[in-house]
């Protein structure tokens, strides 16, 4: 059973990009499950700026992003989903050409396409009342519905009970309340702007108490079953969720553990001050929980977090920044290697180095870079036909280098690529 989502929505029309990005970041920190960002402008410059903003938000947050965008042709849908958005919302009233939507559905999948309908009494889309609503959606390649101006009536409940398509509701929560909307049949989530600058995790816990299945942190092992040290505390090792870099070590008592689950922010027990300690409460360097794991002996916790700012009180990102001894070795973690190599290439673009082959490629421009990518791809094909695996890995490494140059030239990084791969999972 899938949990029901609280989706924060942001109207990006006539809104500064910096303001949109700040709101998106705050919604993520406060516990939203997803973001719905929309801009139905006809102005091409505004549309392009909006898509650029969406790309940056997807890079800076871990949230699922749903995009509302006007499409007239397949290229519009492609641009919207190429931002990394997980789904595309298309307003029915702006849908002048269904062929573009069909083509996008065939290319990206029905589950990516959402049709927005007005369900209000005064300005209702007649399509919502049609008996063949789901057949129509199937014909045009739509996999979900997005309803706005919902009025909860017996007739609406009956209509919703007959739907098999997942439904999202957009509501400002002025006339309706979250619990009533979540309880409607077929509703998979509610998008609202009501919770701006509010603690959404508290809302989730209230919904959970009302019997609604929402995404809260819940430990599979009760704290009382964990083994504490001689001080009655549980050691916690903290890692960056992206890189697995160890950031710090701290301790929890039962209260700190429960507050961490409730808020989604790492809370510890300070042995020196003998009191609870919300990491970042004074510095702003909060740690947002991504996962918690317990070791084989049930006596040490491993927390993976999204770290804001520095983990260490010295200002260093990690508390483990001093080296006592080390044995020379080559890094082998694929994510680390590719990220470090990409960062070197991107740095060359910003700060050129004399005699650098990378800068030679950047100076020659996109055509030269594309030519080299094509040549290296051909070398992979030739090497793959030979039985020597060493030759193949050499050519793949060559290709990946030139590919990263192309990525840097086009302002794409590995997070964009991995994000797109995750979006394709079914």
Confidence band, pLDDT 50/70/90 cuts, at residue 404: very high
**Average of pLDDT values for 114-120?**
95
Note whether residue 72 is domain-resident: yes
Q: Which residue has the higher pLDDT, 323 or 361?
A: 361
Question: Same domain, yes or no, for 202 and 229?
Answer: no
Note the pLDDT of residue 31. 93
Place of tokens 């200002």: 315
Percent of the chain beyond pLDDT 70? 98
Question: Same domain, yes or no, for 269 and 382?
Answer: no
Question: Same domain, yes or no, for 185 and 134?
Answer: yes
User: Does residue 99 register a pLDDT over 80?
Assistant: yes
Give the C-alpha separation, 165 to 161, whole Å.
Answer: 10
Q: Which residue has the higher pLDDT, 97 or 399?
A: 399
Question: Same domain, yes or no, for 155 and 249?
Answer: no
pLDDT digits (tens, 9 = 90+) for 256-313: 999 999 999 999 999 999 999 999 999 999 999 999 999 999 999 999 999 999 999 9
Question: Same domain, yes or no, for 202 and 297?
Answer: no
Give the distance, in angstroms, between the CA of residue 379 and the centroid of all CA atoms in the same chain. 36
Note the pLDDT of residue 151. 93
Note the pLDDT of residue 329. 64
Confidence band, pLDDT 50/70/90 cuts, at residue 142: very high
Tokens of 120: 């209000």
Boundary residue ending a domain (270, 292, 307)? 307
Residues 10, 23: contact at Cβ < 8 Å? yes
**Which region among 233-247, 263-277, 331-345, 346-360 has the lowest average model confidence (pLDDT)?**
331-345
Question: Same domain, yes or no, for 68 and 126?
Answer: yes
Note whether residue 73 is domain-resident: yes
pTM confidence score: 0.82
User: Does residue 387 register a pLDDT over 80?
Assistant: no
Residues 262, 269: contact at Cβ < 8 Å? no
User: Does residue 242 register a pLDDT over 90?
Assistant: no
Note the pLDDT of residue 111. 94
**Which region among 26-30, 60-64, 238-242, 251-255 has the lowest average model confidence (pLDDT)?**
60-64
pLDDT digits (tens, 9 = 90+) for 177-189: 999 999 999 999 9
Place of tokens 């007959």: 162
pLDDT digits (tens, 9 = 90+) for 408-422: 999 999 988 888 887
Note the pLDDT of residue 334. 84
Work out how many domains the chain is built from and give that number. Answer: 3
Burial class (CB in 10 A: 0-12, 13-18, 19+), 77: buried
CATH number where 75 lies: 3.20.20.70
Cβ neighbours of residue 55 under 8 Å, at least 6 residues apart? 83, 84, 416
Alpha helices in 30-62 (DSSP H): 44-60
Note whether residue 346 is domain-resident: yes
Question: Same domain, yes or no, for 151 and 177?
Answer: yes
Averaged pLDDT of the chain: 93
Note whether residue 166 is domain-resident: yes
Note whether residue 215 is domain-resident: no
Give the C-alpha separation, 145 to 119, whole Å.
Answer: 11
Note the pLDDT of residue 149. 94
pLDDT digits (tens, 9 = 90+) for 363-381: 999 999 999 999 999 999 9
Note the pLDDT of residue 266. 97
Question: Same domain, yes or no, for 59 and 199?
Answer: yes
User: Does residue 426 register a pLDDT over 60?
Assistant: no
Boundary residue ending a domain (184, 209, 234)? 209
Give the C-alpha separation, 148 to 169, whole Å.
Answer: 6
Note the pLDDT of residue 115. 97
Question: Same domain, yes or no, for 227 and 156?
Answer: no
CATH number where 302 lies: 3.10.20.810
Note whether residue 317 is domain-resident: no
Note the pLDDT of residue 386. 82
Residues 125, 116: contact at Cβ < 8 Å? no
Question: Same domain, yes or no, for 143 and 241?
Answer: no
Note the pLDDT of residue 344. 95
Q: Which residue has the higher pLDDT, 70 or 326?
A: 70
Give the distance, in angstroms, between the CA of residue 297 and the centroid of all CA atoms in the same chain. 33
Note the pLDDT of residue 368. 96
Question: Same domain, yes or no, for 17 and 83?
Answer: yes
User: Does residue 129 register a pLDDT over 70?
Assistant: yes
Domain of 78 in residue numbering reads as 5-209
Question: Same domain, yes or no, for 201 and 227?
Answer: no
Confidence band, pLDDT 50/70/90 cuts, at residue 330: low
């Amino acid at each position: 059973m899938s949990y029901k989502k609280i989706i924060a929505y942001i109207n990006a029309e006539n809104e500064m990009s910096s303001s949109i990005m700040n709101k998106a970041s705050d919604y993520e920190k406060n516990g939203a499950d997803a973001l719905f960002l929309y801009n139905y402008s006809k102005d091409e410059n505004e549309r392009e700026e909006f898509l650029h903003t969406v790309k940056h938000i997807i890079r800076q947050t871990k949230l699922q992003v749903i995009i509302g965008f006007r499409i007239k042709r397949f290229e519009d849908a492609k641009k919207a989903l190429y931002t990394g958005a997980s789904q595309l919302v298309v307003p029915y009233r702006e849908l002048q050409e269904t062929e573009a939507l069909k083509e996008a559905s065939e290319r990206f999948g029905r589950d990516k396409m959402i049709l927005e309908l007005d369900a209000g009494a005064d300005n209702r889309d007649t399509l919502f009342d049609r008996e063949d609503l789901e057949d129509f959606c199937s014909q045009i390649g739509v996999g979900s519905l997005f309803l706005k101006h919902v009025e909860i009536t017996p007739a609406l409940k009956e209509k919703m009970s007959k739907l098999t398509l997942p439904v999202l509701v957009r509501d400002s929560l002025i006339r309706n309340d979250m619990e009533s909307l979540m309880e409607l049949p077929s509703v998979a989530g509610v998008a609202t702007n009501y919770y701006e600058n509010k603690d959404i995790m508290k809302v989730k816990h209230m919904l959970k108490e009302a019997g609604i299945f929402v995404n809260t942190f819940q430990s599979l092992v009760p704290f009382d079953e964990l083994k504490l040290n001689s001080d009655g505390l549980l050691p916690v090792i903290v890692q960056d969720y992206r890189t697995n870099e160890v950031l710090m070590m701290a301790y929890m008592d039962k209260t700190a553990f429960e507050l961490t689950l409730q808020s989604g922010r790492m809370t510890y027990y300070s042995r020196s001050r003998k009191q609870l300690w919300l990491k970042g409460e004074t510095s702003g360097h909060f740690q947002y929980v991504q996962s918690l794991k317990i070791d084989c002996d049930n006596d040490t916790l491993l927390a993976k977090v999204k770290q804001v700012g520095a983990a260490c009180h010295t200002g260093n990102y990690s508390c483990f920044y001093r080296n006592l001894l080390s044995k020379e070795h080559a890094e082998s973690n694929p994510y680390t290697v590719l990220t470090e190599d990409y960062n070197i290439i991107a740095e060359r673009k910003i700060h050129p180095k004399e005699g650098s082959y990378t800068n030679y490629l950047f100076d020659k421009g996109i055509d030269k870079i594309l030519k080299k990518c094509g040549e290296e791809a051909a070398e992979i094909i030739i090497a793959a036909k030979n039985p020597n695996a060493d030759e193949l890995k050499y050519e793949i490494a060559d290709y990946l280098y030139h590919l990263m140059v192309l990525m840097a030239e086009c302002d794409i990084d590995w997070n964009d690529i991995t994000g797109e791969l995750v979006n394709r999972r079914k």
